[in-house]
Structure 1
Amino acid sequence: MAGAAPFRAQEKDDELLDAYSRAVVSVVDKVSPAVVNVYVSKKIQRPMMYGPDEVQGGGSGFIFTPDGFILTNSHVIHDATKIEVTLYDGRHFPARVIGDDPDTDLAVIKVDAHDLAFAELGDSEALRVGQLVIAIGNPFGFNCTVTSGVVSALGRSLRTGSGRLIDDVIQTDAALNPGNSGGPLVNSRGEIIGVNSAVVLPAQGICFAIPSSIARFVAAALMHDGKIRRSWIGISGQNVALRPEIVKGKHLPVEQGVLVVSLERRSPAERAGLVPGDVIVGMDEHPVKSIDDLHKLLTEEFINKKAKLTVLRRLDKLSMDIVPVEKLGQ
């Protein structure tokens, strides 16, 4: 009888591992047919004696509508002179750019093809730290490579190689490599909750994905207009929880807000009087509980239009007038 308990413990461990394996296999079977390989050609400027030249590169993407719209990273297709997509079943198609948004490192391209598998965007706002996630992509050209891990952190900020700051990204330890860019990060239900974007080198297990809440908003705008005009106030921020006594005492409609980490010089935020440490909780009667909320509000309708920010500064609740300007350089 003494050996029965260790045996039952081992049996339970085996059952847990089998359940984990079944979850990953189920997700891969569901999502992999929608994952594509994106090949691009780009012009580069050689020294004068050699003249312009062309280089090849690529990444990943996934079909998210049955008529061939594909989400990928902006840095994968930006300035491409030619784009070709290889589907899961081996078919090849030329692709055209529908829209490109470097500010979120997202782009939409399209292929004209039939009988396409597609994947559904899930709800990244429901993610919890520690939750199982699966990444599918084409690192180094190895088609439909699968890695798994957990959500390591939420609400991160990531500065890209070009200097752009992307806020509210998902950090995961699911292994990513060059070529994974643009591929899906998927939850255990087979819903895409992020677009894989970057890996910190030489660190191991520190990888980032753009959340599906941002991807859904950006993709819809790119499909409708081909570009995104945004208003801009000039802050870098992060999501923070508010103390319950402040929420109750100030009659706030939100339990968290956007902490101002830094401001651009001569920006609308600086002119309005914002300072690092302020927490934005509202804009023009709209509650602001996250950076995602602020991004959604800073649309072209607010360009050069006076708006009112509700801000917490230490224990004071302030109201500030601000005039957003158009975000340039996209």
Structure 2
Amino acid sequence: MPDEEPLDAYSRVVSTVAAALTPSVAAVRARRRGGEGGGSAVVFTADGFLLTNAHVVGSAAGGTAAFADGTQTPFTVVGADPLSDLAVLRASGPTPAPATLGDSDALVVGQLVVAVGNPLGLAGSVTAGVVSALGRSLPARDGHAVRLIEDVIQTDAALNPGNSGGALADARGRVVGVNTAVAGVGVGLAVPVNATTRGIIATLMREGRVRRAYLGLVTSPAPLTAGVRERTGQRRGLRVVEVVPGSPAARAGLRAGDLVLTAGRAPVGDAQSLQRLMFADAIGRPLPITVLRNGALVDVIAEPTELGPVPRG
């Protein structure tokens, strides 16, 4: 019947993606101090590298990956980056054919996506839905450092505990996100797979960690008054909510209540514009920052330090 064709087409897409992707998605058990953690991971290279969430492995050094065909293999944690919630694993034994990484920047709201993972211990589970929203931000914490994961994908594809680290794929079976959180009924979030995260993944594979610069600021976007907009040409800045004692920001003289206008001589209007500066090339280098304090423009020089790595074992 003609009215059945859309459902048939939808079913064909989902079942085709599921058949192609499910063999590449593993249920992982990570050996942590004091117990085990679990979730999902997806094979993304032919030589046995897997991609998952940093929170799935935590401080673990290794664990076991189990695939849909019943095979199991030990893995080691090559590297994890809590501030992007991504981790790379390396399997010790044979792995299925890798999934293909896509580009989340090409997604549009309403587009079909398929989630594959191991929710609640149910291996090889497949759910489908749409991209509900793009450009969300998800706070991530590593010790005293807080960062926003940018361009997070929101989907209504059902996600449950155990889906974390699994694949979110487009209609062609390309992995466009790594499922990371359940924000509520019908609201799932995935870390995007795009140029930024590909760079993080490559760095984890090469160096085992992502070197990040650290300032010690907690900020919140704030609108500028009409007078300040006229003086600066900016509409927004970053209100300093907290300065971590003893941090580079504190040593530079930044204070709670300051309104950050520029960093590195570039305007900042959201948390992302500041944190994009906080990678390895900023470590130990003078960073000029201009703030508005009590109606006056104040220039300071901060020197970001390196954010320490998370110990494993």
- Find the aligned partners of 1:257 and 1:33 in 2 and give their Cα distance: 47
- Find the aligned partners of 1:190 and 1:258 in 2 and give their Cα distance: 40
* Cα gap change, 1:25 to 1:230, in 2 (>3 Å): same
From 189, 210, 226, give the equivalent of 1:228: 210
* Cα gap change, 1:302 to 1:163, in 2 (>3 Å): closer
- SS of the counterpart of 2:100? coil
Give yes or no for contact 2:73–2:94 (8 Å, CA) kept in 1.
Answer: no
Give yes or no for contact 1:180–1:196 (8 Å, CA) kept in 2.
Answer: yes
More strand by share: 2
Q: Does 1:185 align with 2:185?
A: no
From 101, 105, 113, give the equivalent of 1:133: 113
Give the gaps of 5 or more residues in structure 2.
223-231
TM-score normalised by length of structure 1: 0.73
Give yes or no for contact 2:82–2:140 (8 Å, CA) kept in 1.
Answer: no
Q: Give the drift of 1:133.
A: 1.8
Give yes or no for contact 1:67–1:113 (8 Å, CA) kept in 2.
Answer: no
* Cα gap change, 1:114 to 1:262, in 2 (>3 Å): same
- Find the aligned partners of 1:120 and 1:291 in 2 and give their Cα distance: 31
- SS of the counterpart of 2:199? helix
Give the gaps of 5 or more residues in structure 1.
1-9, 45-54, 241-249
Give yes or no for contact 2:175–2:193 (8 Å, CA) kept in 1.
Answer: yes
Q: Does 1:19 align with 2:20?
A: no
Aligned twin of 2:139: 158
- SS of the counterpart of 2:202? helix
Give yes or no for contact 1:123–1:212 (8 Å, CA) kept in 2.
Answer: yes
Q: Does 1:120 align with 2:100?
A: yes
2:25 partner letter? V
* Cα gap change, 1:106 to 1:115, in 2 (>3 Å): closer
Q: Give the drift of 1:70.
A: 0.6
Give yes or no for contact 2:37–2:57 (8 Å, CA) kept in 1.
Answer: no
Q: Give the drift of 1:119.
A: 1.4
- Find the aligned partners of 2:170 and 2:156 in 1 and give their Cα distance: 14
* Cα gap change, 1:292 to 1:308, in 2 (>3 Å): same
- Find the aligned partners of 2:52 and 2:207 in 1 and give their Cα distance: 17
- Find the aligned partners of 2:254 and 2:140 in 1 and give their Cα distance: 25
Q: Does 1:108 align with 2:88?
A: yes
Aligned twin of 1:211: 192
Q: Give the drift of 1:187.
A: 1.7
Write out aligned runs for 1:153-302 (5 A). Answer: 153=133, 154-159=135-140, 165-167=146-148, 168=150, 169-200=152-183, 203-213=184-194, 214-235=196-217, 262-266=241-245, 268=248, 271=252, 283=264, 295=275, 297-302=277-282
Q: Does 1:58 align with 2:38?
A: yes
Of 164-173 and 145-154, more deviation after overlay is shown by: 164-173
Q: Give the drift of 1:225.
A: 0.8
Q: Give the drift of 1:298.
A: 2.0
Give yes or no for contact 1:278–1:312 (8 Å, CA) kept in 2.
Answer: yes
Q: Give the drift of 1:81.
A: 5.9
Q: Does 1:74 align with 2:54?
A: yes
TM-score normalised by length of structure 2: 0.77
- SS of the counterpart of 2:10? helix
- Find the aligned partners of 1:264 and 1:277 in 2 and give their Cα distance: 10
Q: Does 1:143 align with 2:128?
A: no
Aligned twin of 1:243: none
Give yes or no for contact 1:157–1:238 (8 Å, CA) kept in 2.
Answer: no
Give yes or no for contact 1:284–1:308 (8 Å, CA) kept in 2.
Answer: yes
Give yes or no for contact 2:61–2:76 (8 Å, CA) kept in 1.
Answer: no
Question: What per-residue deviation string (whole Å, max 9, x for no partner) do you get for residues 92-146 of structure 1?
Answer: 1111111122222221110133463111222222333333221110112211101
* Cα gap change, 1:329 to 1:172, in 2 (>3 Å): same
Question: What per-residue deviation string (whole Å, max 9, x for no partner) do you get for residues 129-187 of structure 1?
Answer: 33322111011221110111222332222356988745222222221111111111112
- SS of the counterpart of 1:21? helix
* Cα gap change, 1:150 to 1:238, in 2 (>3 Å): farther
Give yes or no for contact 1:260–1:277 (8 Å, CA) kept in 2.
Answer: yes
* Cα gap change, 1:257 to 1:217, in 2 (>3 Å): farther
Of 304-313 and 116-125, more deviation after overlay is shown by: 304-313
- Find the aligned partners of 1:132 and 1:37 in 2 and give their Cα distance: 24
- Find the aligned partners of 1:189 and 1:305 in 2 and give their Cα distance: 44
- Find the aligned partners of 1:41 and 1:112 in 2 and give their Cα distance: 15
1:107 partner letter? A
